[in-house]
Amino acid sequence: MKKIVSVLLVFMLTVTLTACGKSTHAGTYKLVSVGGEEVVYNNENSPFGALVDAAYELVLNKDGTGSMNVLGFETKLTWDSTSIPIQGETMPLSFSGNKLQIGTDKDTVMVFKKK
């Protein structure tokens, strides 16, 4: 009996923490920088002017769905606290304060800031 109760408590804690993680990170984000190992573009040094900030908007919903709007074209997506699909490829996703990062330092990295 104790084992069953312990397993149920662990399961409930896991579900609760997973749900809290998504609700904490849910929201609307604007792109603040994009780049890789050698070059990082932001609004100050972008060859496209303020396009970096204006072109990309990422919406993450509490239920794990969302959308990415690029130059007015919206793409529906699903996400969890560790990954997000971008152009058919699952990319690592990480959160730090009000910022989120898609990609790793070895890849092209996109950094968004919560509105």
Residue type, 21: G
- For residue 113, give Cα distances in angstroms to 8, 13, 31, 38, 99: 37, 29, 6, 22, 4
For the chain, give the percent of residues with pLDDT over 90.
32
More confident residue, 54 or 20: 54
* CATH value at residue 34: 2.40.128.50
pLDDT in tens, 32-69: 887 866 666 665 656 555 555 567 899 999 999 999 98
Identify the band that residue 99 occupies on the pLDDT scale cut at 50, 70 and 90: very high
Model confidence, pTM: 0.70
Range of 72's domain? 2-114
State the total domains in the chain: 1
Q: N- to C-terminal Cα distance for the chain?
A: 48
